[in-house]
Each structure stands twice: as C-alpha cells, then as structure tokens.
Chains A and B, each alone.
Chain A
Amino acid sequence: MESIQFVKQFYQLFGARWEETADEEWEVTLTKELDKALMNRPFYWHYIEKMNAEGVPSKLTYTTTDQKGKLFIHAGSPHLHKLYTYTTNKGRKTTVYEKTTDNRRKEGLHPWLLCHFSITYKGITRTVQCLNIGIHLLTGAFRWNFLSHIRNYEWESEPSYYTYPIRPIIPEKNAVKRLTSYMEDHIGKQKHEWAERALEKRETEKRIIEEFHKKEGMDMNWYTQQHEELQRRLEPAVYLQEENRGIFYMTETTHNNLMDRK
C-alpha cells in the first residue's frame, strides 16, 4: 500500500494524469519527460524529434496484484525502484522558506541546514541506516530527526511577504563538515559487534591462506589475489553517504518549537 501511495504521489508531483480505473487498478499517461526517463525507448524519441513530430507518451496500468500486461507494484518491483531513483536524482538539494500568513510585522527567518544520511555498515553482511540531522546556522545547535519536525509546516521556494531570511553565520560548507564529523564521531562511539565478527572470520581465513601459501609454495600472484578477495569480502567498513540536503528558513516560532524538542 505504501508503495502504490508513492507512485500516486510521484505522478501528481511530476504532472502526469493519474486515474483509478478499477478496484486496485490505476492508469497513468506519462509526460514526454517521464517517458524518456522511464520507458527506455531512445530510438523512438530520436526518430520523433528528427521528424519534428509530437510523439505519444506511453500509457501505463498499475495494479497491486500479479497480472499480465500490467505493472505490479510492490516493495521490490523494479519499476518502483526506477521511480525512487528518478525522484532522488531530482531532489538532492533545496532551499525553502516557511510559508506564513501572519503579515502584521516584518520578520527575520532562522536558517537551518538539514542533512539526510545513509550509513552502511559492511561486515559479513551489510546493514543500512537512515539518519537525518539539522544544524542551526546561527548558533550551531543540532537536532536529530529534523525531517519529521519540518514536515509539519509548509514550505515555498520564495519567502512570504514581510519575511526575510537571516544571513547564516555558519557557511553551508562548514555546516556540512560539522555534521559529517559529528556523525563520524557518533559512529565511532557505537559498539561494533558486527565488525568484530567479520574481523574474526577474516583472521581465521587469512591464517589458512598464509599457511597454504607457505607450505605449497604458491606464487605471489595467487597470494595477492586471495588476499584481495578476502579484504573485499570481510574487511569491515562504514560508509557515510549524504543522500540529500536542504536549507530551511523558518519563523522564530517554528525555530523555538524545534529548540524545545529534546
């Protein structure tokens, strides 16, 4: 359900007509841009453009069950993941201002920076955690789960009347650096049993390879290859990836609400 909800929001956002045609069945007519991005038919569009013609974007039918000729949407459907990728590529960065109807007095808006991270822990297997954190660009205060808070408000690309953004004291670049090192610190403080397990396994396997190498006189090439494969497989590592980032200018009230939250 969550998945089909996403598809619906996706088309509403990118301006394609989305209609419910039957129970648990929807139809959408793509826009030209979406067709090019999702349907993988470059030759068609190349030909159409050469001919100076309009072109007919595809029509797609979605369902939540497995049926022939229709797109079956579930958590693992490749089509859905295509939409995810398209959306994340479009929404990497933003700068927005809180919408306010209170126009009795001129008000300065507080600048906050949000970073949305994924952390990948690579051991015997891999786990991924999503974390988002905000930093106040005037004082340097941090807030976890920043996203869930700001989703309660309305945001626009231009400031509302009578409001103006306060110029940040901490530049964006520095703020990102502060957040990443804060995250790295945070990661460093955790207990990493998964890494210990991977290291232990790696050591056992390494010993066997070294012994075999010595005893059997295997050549250096063999040794290097074995060693590299072992590293790739069992060397523990943490990857911190910044997925997207936004600057939010908010009213004093919203700012105070945020600061009050633990």
Chain B
Amino acid sequence: MKVITDILSEEENLSDWNTFNLACTAIENKYSHLHKEELQCMKHLPTFTPMEHQLSTAKKVIHTMGGRAILADEVGLGKTMEAGLILKEYLLRNMVKKVLILAPASLVNQWASELSGTFYIQTFTPSRKSADWENWDITISSLDYAKQEKHASVIKDIDYDLLIIDEAHRLKNEQTKNFRFVSSISKTYCLLLTATPLQNSITDVYNLTSILRPGYLGNLQEFKKKYKTSKDTSHINQLLKQVMVRHNRREIQFSPSERNIRQEPILLHEKEKHVYSQIDGLLKDQPAFTNIMLKREFCSSLPAFIYSLQGVLPKLKPEERDKAVSLIQTLTRELHHSKAIFTKNLLKNSEEKYVLFTEFKATQLYLQWFFQKYGISSVPFNGKFKKSKREWMTRLFEQKAQVLIATDAAAEGINLQFCSRMIHYDLPWNPMKLEQRIGRIHRYGQEHDVEILYPILEETIEEVMFHRLLQKTKTFHHTIGKMEKLLVNQEED
C-alpha cells in the first residue's frame, strides 16, 4: 500500500505544554468517530432528525454507489435533506472541499438557508457584484446563471469535488445547452436530484445516467432498440438500481394521509359541441399541432380558445377566415363554459380550499373573473412571480381566499400542505407534471387525506389525453418502480 507522508515544517514556533496538550485534544476531538465507516454526520447535526429513508439513502449513495447517484424520491420526501446529509458527511471526512450546487433560480435561497440552518454549512451565491467561482468553497447558483458564457468558461477549468444538480430533469435532453454545460463540468462525486427522472421517454433516464456513469447503459441507439423490442424491463430496472435511489410515499409510510382520486366526466353543452366539431374543418390545412392546441384551449376556456384562434386567422383561407370570425362572434355572446360552471358549483358547495391548475394564462384570468362574479375569492399564482410575491400570494391564499389558480410554471417549489384539495382543470402531456402539481399539497406536513379531481370533457381531446397519460404512467411504473397513484384507474397494475 502506497503511503503519502506529510511531516511538519521546520518553521513552527514552540508552544508551552498547556497549549500543546489542548491542541492534542482538539485533534483527537476533530477526528473522533471518523475511524468508523458508518455515517457520522448525525453526531454533528443535533437539531435535525432525518427520516429513516433519508438516512438509508445517504448511506447507500456513499457506501455502495461511490458518491454518484440520481436521488429520485417522489416530491416532498426531502431529497434536499438527503443531499445535505451526503454533503455533510463528505465535508466531515474531508472528502470534498470544492462544491457546486445548481438549482432553479427560485430555489437558490432555499438551498442556502437549509444548508446553513440545518447542516451548519456556509455557502456563497454569485450575484452581479461578486462571483468568485475559483475561491468560494461551496457555491450555489442557478443553472441559467452559471451556464452564461462568462461564468461557464471559468467553471469549466475548476475541478469540483462534488456537483449537485437540483431539478435535474432539466438535463433529460442531450441536445440542449444545459446538458452539454453540465456534462462538461469536472467532478468527483455527483448527485442529480429529480422526482421525475423519466418524463416522456426512456431516453431521459439514459441521459441522466450518462452524466454520472457514461456508457453504463450502453449506447443510446442500442438501448432504445432493446427497450422498444422487449416488454421485459426488469433488466433495465436492475441496472438503474445501481445508480438511482427512489422512494415513494406509500413505501415509507411517512404520512397517514391518503390520496383519493376522482375523475368527473362532464358533458359538453349542445352549442359547445357544435363549435368543437367545426374546429377540424376550419383548420384543414394547418399543422396538427395547431389543431390539437386549439382543441385543448377550447376545453379549457373560451377566452383561451378565442385568443389563439385570432392568432391563427391570418394564416387561414378567406372563406375559412369568415367562418372563424363568425364563430368568434357567436362565442363571445355565449360565455358559459360547461367545465367552468361545474367547477363553480363545486366550489360554492364546499367550505374547503382548493388549488386549481390550468395550462393557460387566459383561462387563469377568465376563472378569476368568473369566480368573482359568484362571490368566490381566488388568488392567481405563476412562475414569473418574484420570491416576495410568491410568499405574499401563498399567505393570502392561506388566510383569505378559497382558490389558488396556478399555471403550471408554479408547480415547482411552493408548499401548500395547508390545503388538501386539487383540481386539474387542464391536463398536461407529461404525467410527471401531475406528480409535481400534487406534490404541492400531498407532502410532508399534510394532515388530511388529499382529494384530487380530474374534470374531463367527454368526447373531446381531453379523453384522448387522459388515456395517453395512463399509458405513460405505466412505462414509468415498469422502469422506475412503484409510484403514487396519479390518475384514477391506475390501480389495476
């Protein structure tokens, strides 16, 4: 065994016996317990009691995975805490010094206060005034900030001991700048945090894994082929277990709170049906994307639909355009929408608070106006809000309003466990977005059973989307493992 020896320099001053003796004590205290391999960081964290699964994750990542892993617990199970434990343990053992943490801009402050408050770890965050990537030991930055050329060029020349990426599903596509930037960073240990390692396709997982262990899942083409031709995914599952830790709520029983899911079929009004059936004819020569988009918007709200249709007008042929204009004119006179009426009645008859998610800004505005007309108080929420406004709106919702109307951009990073009801007013294409949404209320601290409602307009694009989502959640289930129920009839597998 090769030993690297380092002895004291000649220049040290002589001290007296008391100082020397106390220095010996300091050295012994500093290293006490570190002769054991088991996790020692808990001895240094007197105010933090981690959950069992968080400890076991930290142990597994450090001891069996060798410090490179995807932390993929479901939303709300404390992935940040797991990363904090691992970081603390590595610092304690002097295994890391230079650390880079990349998180969404809205979560940078949360990371900093969690690390300093719970883990006693001091961090730095770059700003316009100062960004000392080379000299700061532990830096937290947003991915978007760090990847700017002037910063990226500095970061590329630094050897990081530990790289942590929060919300790492933003790296699922190997063609993006995000992905290329992150893979170019030199790192020893690496943690990727995401509740949704597989968003749309199996290549997402492939790409995340290739940041940690390039080549581990073979080459991309072969990997895709193998997966597509065989129904048997247990092999991939087995492989992924070596690089990914995932827990779901049910498995760890962190909360007595159940998840009840209800699907509410809603029939379109005759007039609405008539308009809906005209969409195909109107958009004969338009790309399928436009067609689907307009149908989704129609199912969401008339303002959302009209707004987009107006945008499409110039591209239409003259006679189609005339039809469309007269359609818009009829619609502006008929402003009730079956789903809005259904939702309004539901809210009117309930004392409970609701979080409502829509995909469209126009729908958000419309519902605010519509609810107000019936005396239902609501607050809007979107991802563009600054931190202080987010907090203010959350408080307003908690204390004053019955409904929080959020667009999807708001799904990451807000905690609303004081509310236990959710309406998925529109459906996204990506099933993991649903989990992100539900995670806002079904998380640590939720004391009631959670009710999730899907109002689905019958015989429309919404039905199609719902089935597509079911398909996708099945893929997820097979490759990543069990997950909480997202959609009603998911129980049978």
Instruction: Point out residues on A near B: beta carbons under 8 Å.
Output: 2-3, 6, 9-10, 13, 66, 72, 74-78, 81, 83-85, 87-88, 90-96, 116, 118, 120, 122, 124-130, 132, 147, 151, 155-157, 176, 180, 183-184, 187-188, 190, 192, 194-195, 201, 205, 208-209, 211-213, 215-216, 225-226, 228-229, 232-234, 236-246
Contact = CB atoms under 8 A, between A and B. Distances in A.
Report which residue of B25, B63, B67, B159 has the largest number of chain A beta carbons within 10 angstroms of its beta carbon: B25
Contacts of B29: 2-3, 6, 75, 84
B1 A188 contact: yes
A260 to B, nearest CB: 23
B289 interface: no
B34 interface: yes
Contacts of A92: 8, 12-13, 15, 23
A211 B35 contact: no
Interface stretch (B74-82, B213-221, B462-470): B213-221
Contacts of B219: 212, 215-216
A151 B21 CA distance: 8
Given A6-B25, A88-B23, A125-B37, A93 B15 contact: yes
Contacts of B8: 92-93, 242, 244-245
Interface residue SS majority, chain B: mixed
Interface in B219-254: 219
A229 B188 contact: yes
B189 A233 contact: yes
A129 to B, nearest CB: 5
B437 interface: no
Contact of A233 (B18, B23, B67): B67
29 contacts: A6-B22, A6-B29, A76-B92, A84-B26, A88-B30, A90-B15, A92-B23, A93-B12, A93-B13, A93-B20, A94-B16, A116-B27, A124-B63, A126-B93, A156-B17, A157-B16, A184-B5, A188-B1, A211-B215, A215-B219, A226-B214, A229-B187, A233-B68, A239-B5, A239-B6, A240-B5, A242-B6, A242-B8, A244-B20
Nearest to A231: B188
Interface string B8-50: 1000111111111111111111110011110001011111000
Query: Which of B6, B12, B24, B67 has the largest number of chain A CB atoms within 10 A?
Result: B24
A192 B2 CA distance: 11
A241 B369 CA distance: 71
Interface residues of B, number: 59
Most chain B CB within a 10 A radius of its CB, from A76, A83, A95, A225? A76
A147 B24 CA distance: 9
Contacts of A66: 46-47
Interface of B: 1-8, 12-31, 34-37, 41, 43-47, 62-63, 66-68, 92-95, 120, 122, 159, 186-189, 213-216, 219
Nearest to A213: B215
Contacts of B17: 94, 96, 155-157
B31 A78 contact: no
Contact of B186 (A13, A78, A122, A229): A229
A241 B213 CA distance: 33
Nearest to B46: A74
Given A87-B22, A229-B188, A81 B4 contact: no
B95 A192 contact: no
A88 B36 CA distance: 23
A94 B20 contact: yes
Contacts of B22: 6, 9-10, 13, 87, 91
Contacts of B26: 6, 83-85, 87-88, 91
Contact of A78 (B5, B43, B120): B120
Given A91-B22, A92-B23, A232-B188, A240 B1 contact: no
A91 B20 contact: yes
Given A13-B19, A209-B214, A244 B24 contact: yes
Nearest to B23: A91
Nearest to A184: B3
A91 B23 CA distance: 5
A72 B66 CA distance: 33
Contacts of A72: 46
A126 B215 contact: no
B4 A239 contact: yes
B102 to A, nearest CB: 18
